[in-house]
Chains A and B, each alone.
Chain A
Amino acid sequence: MANTAILCVDDEPVILDSLKEQLRRRFGNRYLYEMAECADDAWEIIEELNEEDVEILVIVSDWLMPGIKGDEFLIRVHQKYPKIVKVMLTGQADADAIERATKEANLYSCIYKPWSEDELADTIMAGLQ
């Protein structure tokens, strides 16, 4: 039974759907995969997993989302869970935002859409090393 998780945040269901399939195929049931369509959902999941003693290892977040932006979300997560590896997966991101996230959220990497499964998997693996 896996007690570690990878959390993906993106406002596009098709992206989350694709991401989850990719992660399942690559990592099987080694991790739990949780999908959130916005930051609020993400926080809810983080709380739930925390209660269930499931450790979140990686958060993959989109940047351009309704409401709170990716960099801001990751910075807040970092303030509470500095250990989590933060990866940004986005179609477009402001250079300033990435720089800020790097500095303040210890952003591990930023992957641009369209991405490849290997690129994603390698980044996560490398982040977890």
Chain B
Amino acid sequence: MFISRSFPKFPLQWAIVVSFLLQIFFIVGLVGYLSFQSGRTAVKHLALDLIQGTNSVITEHLNSYLSIPQHLGQMNADAIRRGVLDIRDRPTVLKYFWDQMQLYNLTYVGMGLADGGGMGVARFDGTNIIVEDWVPGRKNNIKHYAADDQGNLTELIEIWTFINEEETWYTNPIKAGKPIWSIVTMNIVTGPYVVASSSRPIYDTQGTLLGMFAADIHLLKLGDFLKNLDISQSGSTFILEQDGTIIGNSGKASPFILNNKEIKRLKASEIDDPLIQQVSRTVQKQLGSFADLDSNQNFQIFVAGKQYFVNIQPWENELGLQWLVGTVVPENEFLTEINANARRTVLLCAIALAIAIITGIFTARWIANPILQINQASTDMAEGNLNQAVAPSTILELDSLTASFNKMAERLQKSFVAIAESRDKLEERVAERTTELETTLQELHATQAKIIQSEKMSSLGQLIAGVAHEINTPLGAIRASAHNTAKALQESLGQLPDLVERLSPEQQQQFFTLVEKSVSSQAKLTAKEQRTAKRSLIKTLKAANIDNARYIADTLVDMGIYSNIEPQLPLLQTPGQDWILQLAYNLTRLQRNSRTILIAIERAGKVVFALKTYAHQSHSQEKESARITDGIETVLELYYNQLKKGVTVTRSYQEIPPIPCYADELMQVWTNLIHNALQAMSYQGSLGIDVFREGDRLAVAITDSGCGIPEDIQARIFEPFFTTKAAGEGTGLGLDIVQKIIAKHGGQIDLSSQPGQTTFTVWLPMS
């Protein structure tokens, strides 16, 4: 799986087509090669057989052609010997020769007589027949005549010299005493006269030599003979003497050349024919020389890049001619057929290949198409077009595959449709809910201002109880004190004369000391401390044997006298002292009630001021410059009643200039925080208020010694409607509104809480 990454990727069709093609290429190539090779071998054998046969045909033709001069010699010799032909009747003999010349394509037919004369018919130029007649002599003894088509002499052409005894063709057979062949070379007027000459001695019945008969064939005529055999267009046939001298050849090159009027016959290695030259070289290389060639030889040569088959056969006749006959045929002459064959094979292979490729492609498509379709369908599906179905295949496995795929695609589409439907529904529901929520949000926004206001009124409402109490309490105290003062004054006015009349100066002194002590008493004891003091006084009084000690002690305490009453004991021991103490009580109560009234008025004044400040409604949306501590003090004032008992307020205010703020809204913040702090510690403990500056921010830290806020609800206390109070005691909006007001100022609120120390810190920007 992971290996495939390192290989190049290719289409499935290629895999099938390429494997098809590789097999077909291999098989077709192998068959083609083998058939070509066997064809070549067969052709080689065929060629050798053929060339050998050709050569045999040549030698047979040569036999029959060269037998003509021999037969003529035989016939003429016989005719003369038997007296049929009289050599003295020269015109008849010439006509006879002329007829024979007409009959056979020879170069010369004639005879030299023993007396030195002779007669003959020649075709020196190869075409025109002339008649020659010579007489014994040493000079200008021979005459050439032209003749008509009946052999009648028409004109004398020329006269020249011919001496029989000086000619080898005449002397050699006589020497041999039998007919022979020889090559005769003469340079004559009509050109080089190079002939194969068959000569035969003629005898009479007594055996007397009468002359010499000769029939010649020009070497060029032999060449024509080879040409006319038409063995091969681009090949060559040739006849050689055993020493390699050329007799004749089928090519254009002449077997001899004329050099300074000397005729020079050429060897096979000299002739201007590359094929014969190459044959000569090959023979010299393989056999040494042509003379050593004594049997049929086959070999191959290469000339100008072409291969040639060569056959050389020794040829001889009964008259002693020993020649070599050769045939050279180019290989391609034979290969034409095999090449045509090869071409056919190649063509057939090509057709087979083409058919195989087409079949391969179609088969590959046939197999690959369903897979490609599935692939395409999968790709389309991956791109989101789920409506896919692949056509069934006739191949069993692929059909099963496409069926499975179609099933899968169908199920996928169904699932997606279901998902899309549920998504649509969900979107619908989300839209509905969004609309609802938006409406709710709008309503909330609309009511938020109202809630903030009502929370403010709620805070106020909480205060109202206190405020009514705060106002009514001093009023009550004032009213009671005023009434008590009136009574005290009335009573004391009646008793004052008795003071002078009934008490001794010493007792008077003690009385005034008592009153003085009461009036100057600055101690402010709680009710509980007063009771403790009272018990102590009762003991003292009882020890001094004073009756009604409890009542007297109670009175003394009410006068502000809690201890050190020993100096006054004599006065209190005075019989009928009740009125004395009552007078002192009345007098001191005048002063104490006045003080109570002053305190109460001051209290009431403060409350009214605070209430006025608190209720002050600044409807302006603009910030006003205010001193933060003023607002805090106002709130503390309003909470005085709840604070004074059991709560120690510690203020730590830095000197900070007024800052721009929404003063009345901040008041709501302090109210909420202080109220919460007091509730958290059940109005018992210490409340710390620190106001300080840190950089460009102002901080108000309100710390209570309450039980603290559990960690799990610390994060929630700023949430709207979150409350730990019993139902009806709080809206749960307090801290939410606090946070909103602080946010409106661009500030923030922090909380740190642990049992015994909870601090809300409000940070406000200085500007």
A residues with a Cβ closer than 8 A to B are: 1, 11-22, 24-25, 29, 32-38, 41, 44-45, 63-67, 89-92, 94, 112-117
Contacts and interface: CB of A to CB of B under 8 A. Distances in A.
Given A20-B558, A35-B527, A37-B527, A114 B476 contact: yes
Interface string B221-239: 0000000000000000000
A120 to B, nearest CB: 9
Contacts of A16: 527
Interface string B535-573: 000000000000010110010001000000000000000
Contacts of A21: 480-481, 484, 558, 589, 593
Nearest to A94: B465
A100 B647 CA distance: 29
B472 A114 contact: yes
A91 B596 contact: no
Given A35-B530, A66-B642, A115 B480 contact: yes
A91 B599 contact: no
Nearest to B466: A64
Interface string B725-745: 000000000000000000000
A41 B528 contact: yes
A29 B524 CA distance: 25
Q: Which of A11, A16, A18, A45 has the most CB of B within 10 A?
A: A18
Interface of B: 464-481, 483-484, 487, 524, 526-528, 530-531, 548, 550-551, 554, 558, 589, 592-593, 596, 599-600, 641-642, 644-647, 682-684
8 closest A-B pairs by beta carbon, nearest first, are A91-B472, A92-B468, A18-B480, A113-B476, A91-B469, A113-B472, A66-B683, A114-B475
Given A33-B554, A38-B645, A115-B476, A18 B683 contact: no
A86 B561 CA distance: 31
Contacts of B526: 13, 37
Contact of A67 (B470, B480, B682): B682
A64 B471 CA distance: 13
Contact of A14 (B467, B548, B589, B599): B599
A106 to B, nearest CB: 24
Contacts, number: 123
Contacts of B646: 66-67
B541 to A, nearest CB: 14
Given A1-B550, A33-B554, A91-B471, A14 B642 contact: no
B558 to A, nearest CB: 6
A112 B592 contact: no
A36 B231 CA distance: 164
B556 to A, nearest CB: 13
Nearest to B480: A18
B469 A64 contact: yes
A14 B589 CA distance: 12
Contacts of A90: 469, 472
Contacts of B484: 18, 21-22, 25
A77 to B, nearest CB: 17
Contacts of B593: 18, 21
A36 B484 CA distance: 20
A37 B645 contact: yes
A80 B480 CA distance: 31
23 contacts: A1-B550, A11-B645, A12-B477, A14-B599, A15-B476, A15-B480, A17-B592, A18-B596, A19-B480, A21-B593, A25-B487, A29-B548, A32-B554, A35-B527, A38-B645, A64-B466, A91-B475, A91-B476, A92-B469, A112-B472, A113-B469, A114-B479, A115-B480
Given A18-B484, A92-B464, A29 B469 contact: no
A63 B641 CA distance: 13
Given A17-B592, A20-B558, A115-B480, 19 more contacts: A1-B548, A13-B526, A14-B474, A15-B480, A18-B476, A18-B481, A21-B480, A21-B484, A32-B550, A33-B554, A35-B530, A41-B528, A66-B683, A67-B683, A92-B466, A113-B469, A113-B473, A115-B479, A116-B479
Nearest to B599: A14
Given A22-B484, A66-B645, A92-B465, A113 B475 contact: yes
A13 B476 contact: no
A109 to B, nearest CB: 16
Contacts of A117: 480, 483
B573 to A, nearest CB: 19
Nearest to B678: A66
A115 B548 CA distance: 31
A66 B558 CA distance: 24
A117 B466 CA distance: 23
A34 B528 CA distance: 10
B607 to A, nearest CB: 11
Contact of B527 (A13, A29, A114): A13
A18 B682 contact: no
A7 B684 CA distance: 24
A51 to B, nearest CB: 13
Contacts of B467: 92
A12 B600 CA distance: 10
Nearest to B476: A113
Contacts of A91: 468-473, 475-476
A14 B641 contact: no
A26 to B, nearest CB: 10
Contacts of B469: 63-64, 90-92, 113
A21 to B, nearest CB: 5
Q: Which of A14, A34, A37, A113 has the most CB of B within 10 A?
A: A14
A87 B737 CA distance: 40
A56 to B, nearest CB: 15
Contact of B480 (A22, A41, A44, A45): A22
A45 B596 contact: no
A34 B712 CA distance: 46
